[in-house]
Amino acid sequence: MNNRIAIVCGSFHKEEIEQMLEYAKDQASKESLTITDVVWVPGAMEVPLAVDRLLADDEINGVACLGIIEKGQTQHGLAMGQAVIKTIIELQLVHEKPVGLGIIGPGAEPEHIEPRLEPHARAAVSAVVKML
């Protein structure tokens, strides 16, 4: 198997996600993965559609998702995060391909974000490798 993956990035926290993407690329290199596509989406709600499209591609063996869902003043982020994660799980089952979850949150406070950028990005890529 060629172990070709794609990465979906949420652009709402673009600077932090660009950092996560660098960690993910480094991890992919260490794990002998080829990143075929990097797809930027506006936010968490658009992640499942991008993942679905990528998993439908026979050339892609798995997807890693990178993003941040901050704690807001309402339950919107929590509800959105739960729906997105549930849908990602369902897409793995439908396509029978792994998706690594490198989404910080839902409910992340600003001080939680920076220390989690590298471990979440690397873990998302490693999860795909382990499931391949």
* CB half-sphere exposure, 121, CA atoms < 13 A: 25
Q: What is the 3-state secondary structure (H, E, C) of the chain?
A: CCCEEEEEEECCCHHHHHHHHHHHHHHHHHCCCEEEEEEEECCHHHHHHHHHHHHCCCCCCEEEEEEEEECCCCCHHHHHHHHHHHHHHHHHHHHCCCEEEEEEEEEECHHHHHHHHHHHHHHHHHHHHHHC
Is 112 an active-site residue?
no
Catalytic choice (13, 76, 95, 120):
76
The whole-angstrom separation of Cα 119 and Cα 132 is: 20
Active site residue ranges: 76
